[in-house]
Amino acid sequence: MTDQTPLGREKPVCNLEYLLINLGRNHAAALRLVRIFLDNYPLLMGRLEEAVNKADWPAVKDAAHDIRSSCVLFSADIAVTHAKAIESILHQHADDPEHVNWSEKIAALRIALQRVAEELHHYLESSSVQ
């Protein structure tokens, strides 16, 4: 179930106003950051999945950290939470990370990132109309 606003629309997963404030209202810089994220997040997810498949736990941690860092820019809290959870799991289960349900964790992060990407695509589309 997705979070809904009182009017039945999905709640935003990003806070792009906060991004703009931090960039001094520089819309061009915001658009560049959005495009960079949209180009890179599939690559980051690929790195994460490959690292899990190889049981390369330091690479899993690095990829999760990179994803979290990318999402922080947009205040994409749901994606940040899922990426941070992966980092925490690796810390808590450092001796035995193989027994974690990684497919579930990756799927949750992928869904969160897809929601972020959809919102950022919409932002790009609405910005090009103005």
For residue 8, tell me if it sits in a domain: no
Residues of the chain with pLDDT under 70: 1-9, 129-130
Q: What is the pLDDT of residues 57-82, one digit of tens each?
A: 999 999 999 999 999 999 999 999 99
The CA–CA distances, whole Å, from 103 to 3, 29, 32, 50, 86 equal 24, 35, 32, 12, 11
For residue 3, tell me if it sits in a domain: no
Q: Number of structural domains, the chain?
A: 1
The confidence score (pLDDT) of residue 95 equals 82
The confidence score (pLDDT) of residue 72 equals 96
Cβ contact 35:103 at 8 Å: no
For residue 10, tell me if it sits in a domain: no
The confidence score (pLDDT) of residue 3 equals 55
